[in-house]
Amino acid sequence: LAYMTGRPGDPLRAGSSVNDIMGGLFGAIGVMAALSAREKTGEGSEVQSSLFENNVFLVAQHMMQFAVTGLPAAPMPERISSWGIYDVFKVKDEEQIFLAVVSDTQWAIFCDAFGYDDLRDDPRLLGNNNRVRCRDWLIPLLRERLAQQSAADLAALFERHGLPFAPITKPHELLDDPHLCATGGLAPITLPDGERAGQTAQTVLLPLALDGERLGVRRSPPRLGEHSAELLAELGYSAEDAARLSQTVAKAG
């Protein structure tokens, strides 16, 4: 995964804990499958989810590319693109925006929207496969033409014409993202410790809804020792034993 993420000779970690997150997801999927099987057979199952095999699964498409073509997959920055325009563009004021034009219909709309009659009528660019073959000169040309437009103007134009795009957004900027706020993707929690202890912050909810409703926050992150008495009682400790244990831990700390 690091090899595919980085530049040639410069492997990089993915920018998110994708392996841990997906390992947990496959574990949960396995549990649900085991529960479903138990309802039918009455027998339980042992569920395993491996981080290593999960990581392999994430690059399985590149392994299959080699199996089918005999050609090793290049890292993402050097990949052979499946579409003519499917890239991040640096535009006015050093902003960046992802733009995609993946079908012949989108190509015609794109050229008409920007007044690129020369590109629309160029026989070398007829069909996506031809545009992929011409990426070595087409993409630099588009970078030059789009460089003086702002990301906001490009986003508005792509939105108006139904073309795919996405802003390049820093994670902290998503805390007031209009889409997340409108769809209920964020919810408040109380911070348990640190310099902002007791203050309210927005957290990201699971990206799914049941019967049209998001799964909300069950409780905020606990303060240190907040639920110790409750948990010790569940384990069978008496109130006196729990208090004695807590005092011992406090002294050791």
106 with 159, same domain: the answer is: yes
- CA neighbours closer than 13 Å in the CB half-sphere of residue 204: 12
- Enumerate the β-bridge partners of residue 201: 189
94 with 149, same domain: the answer is: yes
Report the domain count for the chain: 4
In the structure, how many helices (H) and strands (E) does the chain have?
12, 7
pLDDT of amino acid 253: 63
Burial of 212 (0-12, 13-18, 19+ CB in 10 A): exposed
pLDDT of amino acid 82: 82
3 state DSSP class of 175: helix
pLDDT at position 204 over 70: yes
pLDDT at position 97 over 90: yes
Kindly report the backbone phi and psi dihedral angles of residue 111, in degrees, each rounded to the nearest multiple of 5, phi listed first. Answer: -65, -40
Element (H, E) at 183: helix 178-183
Looking at the domain assignment, is residue 134 inside a domain? Answer: yes
Looking at the domain assignment, is residue 158 inside a domain? Answer: yes
Looking at the domain assignment, is residue 219 inside a domain? Answer: no
pLDDT at position 252 over 80: no
pLDDT at position 105 over 70: yes
pLDDT of amino acid 38: 96
d(Cα 107, Cα 119) in Å, to the nearest integer?
9
pLDDT in tens, 107-143: 999 999 999 999 999 999 999 999 999 999 999 999 9
pLDDT of amino acid 102: 93
d(Cα 217, Cα 14) in Å, to the nearest integer?
27
113 with 64, same domain: the answer is: no
Last residue of a domain, one of 75, 94, 122: 75
pTM of this prediction?
Answer: 0.72
pLDDT of amino acid 92: 94
CB atoms within 10 A of CB 151: 22
Which two structure tokens, joined as six digits, stand for 94? 């050093």
175 with 106, same domain: the answer is: no
| 246 and 228 Cβ atoms separated by less than 8 Å | yes
Looking at the domain assignment, is residue 80 inside a domain? Answer: no
Domain that holds residue 238: 225-253
Kindly report the backbone phi and psi dihedral angles of residue 98, in degrees, each rounded to the nearest multiple of 5, phi listed first. Answer: -90, 130
pLDDT at position 179 over 90: no
71 with 96, same domain: the answer is: no
